[in-house]
Structure 1
Amino acid sequence: MGTRGGSVNGWRRFWDRGRWWKALLAAVAYLVLYEAASLLVGVLWGAGVSADLFADARSVLIGLLLPLVIGAVVLLAFVASVRWFRPLFGPQPIRGRWWMWIAVVLTVVPIALRLAGIDYGRFPPGVVALTFLSGLFIGFTEELLTRGIAVKILRDAGFREVVVAVISSALFALLHSVNVLTGQPPLTVLLTVVFAFGFGMMMYLVLRVTGNLVWPMLIHALTDPTTFLASGGIDVATGGTQNPLLALAGPFNILFVVAGLLAIIFIRGRVRENRVA
């Protein structure tokens, strides 16, 4: 019993000692486990997945939702093992300035435009509901990993908040780089990674200005499914004639990148010094 307890305490002590490479380790480990879960689901039920993921509800369930559910369970198990529920889901130890509300506006406006502009009738029954349910798991898992676990590790390491913002957003972008393994053109993957970094910076600012991880989770949970349904795919560009509302939502991806890069100049503070930017 003493040995087992010592192993558990050693596990917690390892993760409580913040290092930048531990944030990277957590992201890579999750990425590997998520991809393994996707492969397993594909082997077991892949025959039921259409080439067009949003062609039917079964494809969305198997090809998108199930691996996310597995990923959520893995992350929750990790958080429970290190007893981080309170520091991750409680009030943030450092709050942001008024200008950070810009990130809330920049992310919520395109969501509203897509919600109003999507042609829901083009999708078979069940697809829309399962896509939004998948969005909840996307927002939960990706924000818990990058704006929760990674941010805590980086803050525990004593990094300034600007470094925390950049590294956590880079890790978020890293999660999207594996799309190249699915056969997507390298240029498309590169653009996705760049946009993901910008969106990651927006989510960091939302975390700071709202003071709670739940808010970036919810905004993220609405961003991805509305984007999927607006474009008809994952990380694909919308072609042809568009609803004007969807056309207005498109340029916000570029605004995320621009605003994220500008934010690097103004982010201040360090949790250990308890200074607020």
Structure 2
Amino acid sequence: MTTTAPSALRVRPRIWIGLVIWLAYLVLVFAVQSASGIPYQEWGDSAGNLFFGGGVSLIVATVLLAITTSLLGWWRPALFDRERSRHRWPIVVPILVVVAAGMNLAGTDWASYSGAFLAASVVLLLVGFTEELVNRGLLIVALRSRLHEGWVWFISSALFGLGHYINVLLGAPAGDTTIQVFAAFLGGTAFYIFRRTTGSLIWAMALHGLWDFSVFATGVGHAGDITAIANVVYLFTGFLGLAFVAFVIRGSKERADVATAPSTGGSASIPAE
């Protein structure tokens, strides 16, 4: 089933454009979060720390990414695949992530949340929009201009994971962050599978925001034992994603073949895979 039809883009997709956007996003987030003067490990101490330490950078990034995507004219290919994966059953992987997030929320100590802290933490849901648009939206559009879909999955997921190393510069322990990087690679694979099985990045954005919010929520007060089980489910789901991802890659026809708009000085199409 075709989700989107080829259309003219303002700027022809190039791999370097996606890499520049990925790097610029990390630099922006690091700069804004560093300017707050609030160490990464102190975000959970108060509503103000959370909002100014993490929330402001996400608000700024959301605005700038929306402008960037509009200038490139990449909204449709960033948010939608032309065709959904022929194999839909791997959607069980992101569904299990939903289950793990639900377990986190069920084990959260909601009595420890103040109204202000809850409002500040809701802003963190924007991470689903920003990180997905960068890593499994704009970066994927760029990678698809030249690479086979298998490399598109691997590189986008690997860069998503590696991007979390900026937390070390913000005060997070290197060892814990390395574990987070690997977990992010697994999570990125699950989000990629969600995009391919639904044909849309929007569902992955929603799931990403939900998962990150649920993980943060468990750090407030005293979380229940079920959250430890949620971590096991998430890890199992990640390895399941590695086993299943080939099925959503197989037969992909997502190589960019859209023409650039005349205003960019070109109308030649990019060869399809």
TM-score computed with the length of structure 2 as normaliser: 0.82
1:18 aligned partner: 14
Alpha-carbon distance in structure 2 between the residues aligned to 1:38 and 1:187: 21
Deviation of 1:265 after TM superposition, in Å, equals 4.0
1:200-258 per-residue CA deviation (whole Å, 9 max, x = no partner) reads 0000000111111110010111111110111349xxxxxxx852321221113322431
Aligned residues: 246
Secondary structure of 1:207's counterpart equals helix
1:251 aligned partner: 232
Deviation of 1:181 after TM superposition, in Å, equals 1.1
TM-score computed with the length of structure 1 as normaliser: 0.80
Residue 218 (str. 1) matches residue 201 (str. 2): no
Deviation of 1:184 after TM superposition, in Å, equals 2.4
Percentage of identical aligned residues: 31
Match of 1:152 among 138, 141, 148: 141
Matches within 5 A, 1:49-88: 52-88=42-78
Matches within 5 A, 1:122-133: 122-133=112-123
Residue 29 (str. 1) matches residue 24 (str. 2): yes
Q: Name the one with the larger helix percent.
A: 1
Alpha-carbon distance in structure 1 between the residues aligned to 2:95 and 2:220: 25
Q: Which amino acid aligns with 2:127?
A: I
Residue 263 (str. 1) matches residue 234 (str. 2): no
Q: Which runs of 4+ in 1 moved over 6 A?
A: none
1:162 aligned partner: 150
Matches within 5 A, 1:166-181: 166-181=154-169
Q: Cα distance 1:127–1:256, how it changes in 2: closer, same or farther (>3 A)?
A: same
Deviation of 1:118 after TM superposition, in Å, equals 0.7
2:189, 2:241 within 8 Å by CA — same for their partners in 1?
yes
Alpha-carbon distance in structure 2 between the residues aligned to 1:29 and 1:86: 22
Alpha-carbon distance in structure 2 between the residues aligned to 1:50 and 1:204: 27
Secondary structure of 1:225's counterpart equals helix
2:153, 2:192 within 8 Å by CA — same for their partners in 1?
yes
Alpha-carbon distance in structure 2 between the residues aligned to 1:86 and 1:245: 39
Gaps of at least 5 residues in structure 2 are 1-8, 258-273
RCO higher in structure (CA 8 A, sep ≥6): 2
Match of 1:95 among 84, 87, 108: 84
1:207, 1:215 within 8 Å by CA — same for their partners in 2?
yes
Alpha-carbon distance in structure 2 between the residues aligned to 1:230 and 1:250: 11
Residue 138 (str. 1) matches residue 127 (str. 2): yes
Alpha-carbon distance in structure 2 between the residues aligned to 1:37 and 1:94: 37
Gaps of at least 5 residues in structure 1 are 1-10, 234-240
2:47, 2:116 within 8 Å by CA — same for their partners in 1?
yes
1:183 aligned partner: 171
Alpha-carbon distance in structure 2 between the residues aligned to 1:29 and 1:190: 22
1:55, 1:123 within 8 Å by CA — same for their partners in 2?
no
Alpha-carbon distance in structure 2 between the residues aligned to 1:195 and 1:263: 17
What's the Cα RMSD here? 2.5
Alpha-carbon distance in structure 2 between the residues aligned to 1:173 and 1:69: 21
Q: Which amino acid aligns with 2:129?
A: F
